């Protein structure tokens, strides 16, 4: 016998142990069987997983289980990402806490420590995924920086080089002075900040009124190599060709004309700093201006800043502005909002900096993914992300792939004095030194779907599992990762890395704010699992995971899901209580079935189909919702109650028929729910499967099965809707008249549906409405009335009811009925007037109108009798 309440801990532990022992996640190529493949978005080894990972991985596990149950060879590849800058930052913080810096350790010792950290972190992450019930193929665990992935990275870099798609050049790149490295364009975030626009006078060389430039960053003036004005701007024509002097350092620079300058903005004079601004860089190229670096890679002013050299950007700003003001150069200072670029890893302000970096050409690589998208060979779910994805590929810029950090794949290029650099998968020999920089962590991530299957080797796995099937990730890395995997997939395999990408939302806190450590609103998935169970957490997330939408996470939703799990537990418990102890299979047959049985079978079949269809299109919320409503509201609230009448009766074919329906519906539903809440469904299914005539050891191995036979019965569904409507009407009446729920009462019935309720459905009405008796008859005196679809009920309550109150109640019902009729008639008028409405629509509208009218008439009659 099951306990009264579900206790997740022991069940989860036992199930995990049995799944592990059976190696349920294991996959191998199988001839003649379709593979279904997901590669995990490898979490960075920066710490433990958060609730967003729980969402991401629950989705994947649901899809994997679903497809495995559909008979595909499901393979879910686990792994972790070395995480480049992000992980190095974590380690630097740790070192700082110990009062050290990475240079104190030196590169080798630092990397050694990183490796140790990585080992610990991987264990934590894999442990959490295991706890979540993730059916990963653990034998395939990969790491973006392990040996096999290293080979793939070097091979890819070399191949791209050989195809002319890799180059080294001095370009203006996004430089994070805190992380001390270049970043690619998409690793930079923009945010609007309040600042000031400074109008600064650059006097004419030799004295006199010169140009007044407007700038948000006065400190870049030390890198100015020109002042530019628009050729059409008459105000400044007199200065063109002359020279002006940069204040404070007295360096003369030319005034040039360039159409880029917007004379509506600021003063119409633009200071040109080619080394620190993309647009200025381009102006510089056009006018062959020199570049002067005013800011060093560590974020300090350079020698070019004269007396300010060595100051940090912030300190320099605080020194330069007052000096300009004191010496009369500052003509004006106005409030100004400007977009500031920040590092996506540390949020510090990005410095555009001219430096020598490695790049991958993108335009060529983007062509195949674009074609695949247009041809429908690659789909994004939900599809509204397809356009941004497309736009990004169309407007793509070259990818800066070198990073000036230590943690990552060393760039596979070797240098030697007097020789050309050599790109190779290993050192060309003695005397050559390898490039000290490492590759962007996303370079190895981009190769993930290939590299996990052994690429560049032509392995059996690669042939069988590539392309993968579905990629599941958040929209924040659509370009950073998804697009690049497609580019690499096409470049090296000639096929998309996956035909489907599922883009899910972010888990936010309950008020919709992003979770962050600083806000203190982060939710730890492990805490949720400990408190409410893993199935509850999974179901709560899946229930709300509408395609592409963010989730406002409230612990209450987990409590709700926990209650649902408990409901399942208890409904199974009830079914088991009504089965003989000695297991015996109950197969579905037509014999002995009543309306309620046919109804629940029809509803069950429809629900299973809906859930399956929803998972097929990556809509777990729709699947979860359909199963939730079916199991709680239809199976538990109505069917089990309806079945009780026969279950308490004598043994016989009728009783066995009910048992068969209970067992089969429950079994099929548990299996349908299994991808979403694997633990409790496995546990409960194991308990009832002997009665369902099933013997497979795990749901995953047995598959869905479903109900045998076709049970669709729309007429029965309509009929049962009337029965339930009648019961609800009586219950409502009882509640309003304060009839104690336990008290059985007599009732009389009238109307077209009375025959059915007095005949085949009588037991249902007696049972669910707590009636002592139900008889045909007109309204007796001193009684209350409940009007349902097709029937009126009269409950004699001699001396108990208040006639005034009863009239009031009925008047309210009548008003509702009148308004219903009005709506129905309006619709009917519309439809009969319209030329192109199908006959069935017309009939349906008539039926609706007639039934509403009948209800009104019955109410009117009753009110007439009462007055």
Told to check if 549 binds RNA by CB under 7 A, we report: yes
Distances (CA, A) of 237 to 246, 257, 615: 19, 9, 68
Burial 537-570 (b: 16+ CB within 10 A, else e): bbbbbbbbbbbbebbebeeebbebbbebbbbbbb
> Binding to RNA by residue 741, rule CB under 7 A?
yes
Whole-angstrom Cα distance, residue 435 to residue 391?
A: 34
Site for RNA in 185-214 (CB under 7 A): 185-186, 190, 192, 214
Compute the least distance from the CB of residue 104 to RNA, in Å. Answer: 37
From the list 635, 629, 659, 639, the residue with the least C-alpha distance to 647 is 659
Q: Does residue 735 touch RNA according to CB under 7 A? A: yes
In whole angstroms, give the CA distance from residue 591 to residue 328: 102
| Look-up of token digits 């009830």 | 574
Q: Which is nearer to RNA, 179 or 227 (CB)?
A: 227
413-452: contacts with RNA (CB under 7 A): none
**Rounded-to-10 torsion of CA 17, 23, 26, 30:** -150
Residue 414 gets the label, from left (phi > 0), alpha (psi -120 to 50) or beta, of beta
Q: Which is nearer to RNA, 462 or 787 (CB)?
A: 787
* 157, 425 contact by CB (below 8 A): no
Minimum CB separation of residue 631 from RNA in Å reads: 9
**521 binding RNA? (CB under 7 A):** no
Q: Is position 240 an interface residue for RNA (rule: CB under 7 A)?
A: no
Rounded to 5 degrees, what are φ and ψ at 693?
75, 30
* CA gap 382, 475 in Å, rounded: 11
Residues 450-479 that bind RNA (CB under 7 A): 475-476, 479
Give the other-Cβ count within 10 Å of 628's Cβ: 20
CA dist., res. 631 & res. 543, Å (int):
14
**Among 279, 312, 355, 404, interactor with RNA by CB under 7 A:** 279
Which window, 343-351, 603-611, 710-718, 829-837, contacts RNA (CB under 7 A)? 829-837
Under the binding rule (CB under 7 A), the answer on residue 664 touching RNA is no
**Which residue's CB is nearer to RNA, number 837 or number 865?**
837
What's the angle, vertex CA 537, arms to CA 535 and CA 539, rounded to 5? 65
Decide: is 650 part of the binding site for RNA (CB under 7 A).
no
Our finding on whether 801 is near RNA (CB under 7 A) is: no
Q: Is 167 in the site for RNA (CB under 7 A)?
A: no
Q: Per-residue x/- mask for RNA, residues 345 to 384, rule CB under 7 A? A: ---------------------------------------x
Is residue 570 a contact residue for RNA (CB under 7 A)?
Answer: yes
Q: Is 546 in the site for RNA (CB under 7 A)?
A: yes
Which range touches RNA (CB under 7 A), out of 35-43, 110-118, 542-550, 771-779?
542-550
When the beta carbons of 560 and 693 are compared against RNA, the nearer one is: 560
Residue among 401 and 854 whose Cβ is closer to RNA: 854
Residue 474 pairs with which residues in a beta bridge?
504
Nearest to 253 by CA among 204, 199, 220, 217: 204
Given a contact cutoff of 8 angstroms between Cβ atoms, the answer to whether 687 and 2 are in contact is: yes
313 binds RNA (CB under 7 A): no
Residue 580 near RNA by CB under 7 A = no
Is the sign of the CA dihedral 688, 694, 695, 700 positive or negative?
negative
Q: Which of 18, 216, 317, 434 binds RNA (CB under 7 A)?
A: 216
For residue 201, the tally of other CB atoms under 10 A from its CB is: 22
Compare residues 258 and 437 and give the one whose CB is closer to RNA: 258
C-beta closer to RNA: residue 263 or 432 = 263
* Near RNA in 604-633, by CB under 7 A: 622, 625, 629, 632-633
- Answer for which of 15, 50, 562, 858 binds RNA (CB under 7 A) is 562
Q: Does 837 bind RNA (CB under 7 A)?
A: yes
Residues 391-410 that bind RNA (CB under 7 A): 391-392, 395
Among 650, 833, 839, 864, binds RNA (CB under 7 A): 833
Could you say whether residue 818 binds RNA (CB under 7 A)?
Answer: no
Confirm or reject binding of residue 736 to RNA (CB under 7 A): yes
Provide the minimum distance between the beta carbon of 716 and RNA in the complex, in angstroms, as a whole number. 20
Largest CA distance in the chain: 115
Per CB under 7 A, 159 contacts RNA = no
CB of 695 to RNA, least distance (A): 26
For residue 515 the two structure tokens come to: 């979770």
Q: Is 636 in the site for RNA (CB under 7 A)?
A: yes
Q: How far, in Å, CA of 319 to CA of 312, rounded?
A: 10
648 binds RNA (CB under 7 A): yes
Closest CA to 506 of 516, 497, 492: 516
In whole angstroms, the minimum distance from the beta carbon of 206 to RNA comes to: 25
Residue length, the chain?
Answer: 867
Nearer to RNA, 429 or 838 (CB): 838
Q: Which of 720, 597, 558 is nearest to 8 (CA)?
A: 558
Residue from 810, 802, 779 nearest 792 by CA: 779
The reply to whether 386 sits near RNA by the rule CB under 7 A is: no
Indicate which single residue of 241, 388, 583, 703 sits in contact with RNA (rule: CB under 7 A). Answer: 388
Which CB, 186 or 756, lies closer to RNA? 186
Distance CA 299, CA 350 (A): 10
């Amino acid at each position: 016998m099951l306990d009264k309440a579900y206790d997740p801990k022991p069940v989860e532990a036992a199930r995990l142990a049995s799944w592990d022992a059976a190696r349920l996640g294991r996959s191998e190529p199988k001839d003649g069987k379709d593979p279904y493949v997901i590669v995990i978005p490898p979490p960075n080894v920066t710490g433990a997983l958060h609730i967003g990972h729980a969402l991401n991985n629950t989705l994947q596990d649901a899809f994997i289980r679903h497809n495995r149950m559909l008979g595909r060879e499901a393979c879910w590849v686990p792994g972790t990402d070395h995480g480049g800058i992000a992980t190095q930052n974590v380690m630097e913080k740790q070192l700082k806490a110990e009062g050290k810096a990475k240079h104190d350790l030196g590169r080798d010792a630092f990397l050694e420590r990183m490796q140790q950290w990585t080992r610990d972190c991987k264990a934590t992450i894999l442990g959490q995924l295991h706890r979540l019930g993730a059916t990963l193929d653990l034998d395939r665990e990969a790491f973006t920086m392990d040996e096999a992935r290293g080979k793939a990275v070097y091979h890819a870099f070399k191949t791209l080089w050989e195809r002319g798609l890799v180059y080294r050049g001095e370009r203006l790149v996004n430089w994070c002075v805190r992380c001390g490295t270049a970043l690619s364009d998409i690793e930079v975030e923009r945010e609007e900040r309040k600042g000031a626009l400074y109008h600064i006078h650059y006097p004419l060389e030799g004295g006199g009124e010169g140009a007044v430039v407007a700038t948000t960053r006065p400190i870049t003036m030390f890198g100015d190599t020109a002042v530019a004005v628009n050729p059409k701007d008459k105000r400044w024509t007199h200065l063109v060709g002359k020279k002006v002097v940069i204040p404070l350092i007295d360096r003369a620079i030319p005034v040039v004309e360039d159409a880029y300058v917007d004379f509506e903005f600021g003063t119409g004079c633009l200071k040109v700093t080619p080394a620190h601004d993309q647009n200025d860089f381009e102006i510089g190229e056009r006018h062959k201006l020199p570049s002067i670096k005013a800011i060093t890679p560590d974020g300090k002013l350079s020698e070019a800043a004269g007396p300010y050299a060595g100051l940090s950007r912030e300190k320099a700003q605080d020194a330069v502005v007052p000096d300009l003001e004191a010496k009369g150069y500052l003509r004006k200072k106005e409030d100004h909002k400007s977009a500031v670029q920040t590092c996506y890893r540390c949020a510090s302000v990005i410095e555009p900096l001219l430096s020598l970096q490695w790049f991958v050409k993108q335009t060529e690589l983007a062509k195949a993914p674009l074609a695949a998208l247009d041809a429908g060979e690659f789909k994004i779910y939900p599809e509204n992300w397809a356009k941004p994805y497309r736009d990004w590929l169309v407007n793509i810029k070259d990818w800066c792939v070198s990073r000036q950090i230590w943690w990552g794949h060393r760039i596979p290029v070797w240098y030697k004095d007097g020789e050309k650099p050599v790109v190779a998968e290993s050192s060309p020999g003695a005397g050559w030194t390898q490039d000290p920089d490492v590759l962007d962590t996303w370079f190895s991530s981009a190769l993930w779907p290939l590299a996990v299957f052994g690429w560049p080797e032509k392995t059996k796995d690669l042939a069988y599992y590539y392309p993968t099937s579905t990629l599941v990730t958040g929209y924040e890395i659509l370009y950073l990762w998804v697009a690049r995997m497609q580019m690499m997939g096409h470049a090296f395999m000639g096929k998309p890395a996956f035909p489907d990408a599922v883009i899910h939302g972010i888990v936010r806190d309950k008020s919709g704010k992003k979770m962050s450590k600083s806000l203190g609103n982060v939710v730890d998935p492990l805490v949720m699992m400990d408190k409410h169970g893993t199935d509850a957490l999974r179901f709560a997330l899946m229930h709300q995971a509408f395609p592409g939408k963010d989730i406002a996470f409230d612990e209450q939703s987990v409590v709700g899901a926990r209650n649902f799990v408990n409901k399942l537990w208890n409904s199974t418990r009830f079914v088991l209580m009504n089965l003989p102890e000695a297991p015996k299979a109950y197969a579905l047959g037509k014999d002995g079935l009543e309306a309620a049985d046919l109804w629940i079978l029809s509803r069950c079949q429809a629900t299973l189909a809906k859930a399956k269809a929803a998972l097929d299109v990556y809509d777990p919320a729709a699947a979860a919702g359909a199963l939730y409503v079916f199991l709680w509201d239809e199976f538990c609230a109505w069917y089990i109650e309806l079945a009780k009448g026969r279950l308490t009766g004598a043994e016989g074919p009728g009783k066995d028929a009910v048992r068969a329906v209970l067992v089969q519906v429950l079994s099929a539903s548990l299996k349908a729910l299994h991808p979403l809440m694997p633990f409790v469904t496995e546990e409960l299914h194991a308990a009832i499967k002997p009665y369902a005539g099933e013997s497979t050891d795990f749901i995953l191995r047995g598959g869905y099965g479903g109900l045998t036979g076709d049970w669709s019965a729309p007429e029965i569904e309509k009929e049962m809707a009337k029965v339930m409507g009648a019961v609800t009407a009586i219950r409502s009446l009882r509640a309003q008249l304060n009839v104690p729920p336990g008290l059985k009462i007599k009732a009389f019935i009238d109307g077209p549906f009375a025959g059915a309720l007095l005949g085949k459905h009588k037991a249902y009405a007696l049972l669910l409405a707590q009636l002592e008796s139900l008889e045909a008859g007109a309204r007796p005196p001193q009684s209350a009335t409940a009007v349902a679809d097709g029937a009126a009920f009269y409950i004699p309550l001699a001396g108990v009811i208040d006639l005034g109150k009863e009239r009031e109640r009925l008047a309210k019902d009548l008003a509702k009925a009148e308004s219903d009729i009005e709506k129905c008639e309006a619709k009917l008028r519309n439809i009969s007037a319209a030329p192109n409405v199908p006959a069935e629509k017309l009939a349906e509208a008539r039926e609706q109108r007639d039934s509403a009218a009948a209800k009104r008439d019955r109410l009117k009659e009753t009110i007439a009798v009462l007055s």
